[in-house]
Structure 1
Amino acid sequence: MGVAAALGVKDHCGWAMLVAVAGEPGSPRVLLRERVSLLHDPTLPDQPFHAAAGLALDSARDLISRVEQCARTSAHDVLAAAVHRLNGAGHDVAGVALDLGAVGAGRMTLPDDLATVLSKHHYLHGAEGELYHEALMEAARDAGLAVSRYDFKELRDVAARLLGVGAVERVDGLRAQVGTPWTRDHKDAALAALLLLVDGRAA
């Protein structure tokens, strides 16, 4: 039986910060941290809804579909590689912690109609984020990993309540363990992973 670890992912359009942690809230350890591509094909736009906004609807739908497929493949490859590395180092991966995003957190409801989505700027941003969230969720579940989703806008408050304020400060201070860079993306991904290890909440 290996040592339990969890992956935290802070995703953006076309890329993500991935951090793996193990240990308890009082002594978290960073096992892996890397910036990964969620869109391996450089000919595709990382914001397909924005790129599709000026196209005919059929062309827009085709472009978005191609980016969705590439994102799913890329997310699968990224998570599979991370799990393989962690397993090889003697760790059992408990799951993947992801951001809820604006759509999943209930701050936005996307219309079912693509034409409407393409006509409103705030819908474009929501749809871009959800595309990558969905790709990561699908990839994690295909790999047999539990998925926990947290609202990263409230992540530090949630972590302070469930793990204690000291745990948040210790994650912030992990820069001393791993060196730079240790940005807000790294901290959020690590904190979400630590929450998954302790809280174990699956989406």
Structure 2
Amino acid sequence: ETYLVMCTRNGTIKKTPLSEFESIRRSGIGAISLEEGDVLVEVQHTGGKDEILIGTKGGMSIRFPEGDVRSMGRSAMGVRGIRLEEKDLVIGLESFPASAKLTLLTVCENGYGKRTNLSEYRGQHRGGGGVITIKATDRNGAVVGIKLVTDDNDLMIMTEQGKAIRLHCRDIKAISRNTQGVRLVRLEEGDKIARVAPIAGEPPVPPTPAPDLPLKP
């Protein structure tokens, strides 16, 4: 069985079987119950045995096994995925097989960022405070996006003033986790990066397939 893994701005994570969304009326159905003031920021399709990585605008991240999140019904609120510092918020979630040879691209609003090998993100228990993924400085600004990439991936950077900039991941050298990063794009004065989107095509990694279970007699 496969799942939808959801994450909210305030650090809540939830996993629900995809089978619970087979019959959806035109007006929609509830997928998660949210606390007042919270919003959904990311949904990933997973195979049940993936790794989860959550990133925050303050430059923190946490990695833990998908198995740390129990399966829940559509009406559930979820559980804590990451413990946030005051005023910090979740900006993204990525899922991947534990054996994946990928890098995490972190993009900050002022045009800076970096790629870091996933091996630098040690596994932790769900609900912890995480580790630094990029140093939050005035130069960098807030983190606006995290994406799992390989050298073959391209991304589109969208700015607040409506500019689109294509980013070739092979041009970004992988560096260590606890660093400030490098300039990824040069922005016009007063402009900031708003969104990071993968170029349409094959995703960097598919969800881990769930194992076949024996049929009941």
Task: Select the structure that is richer in strand.
Answer: 2
TM-score of the two chains, using structure 2 as the length reference: 0.24
Higher relative contact order (CA 8 A, sep 6+): 1
Task: Select the structure that is richer in helix.
Answer: 1
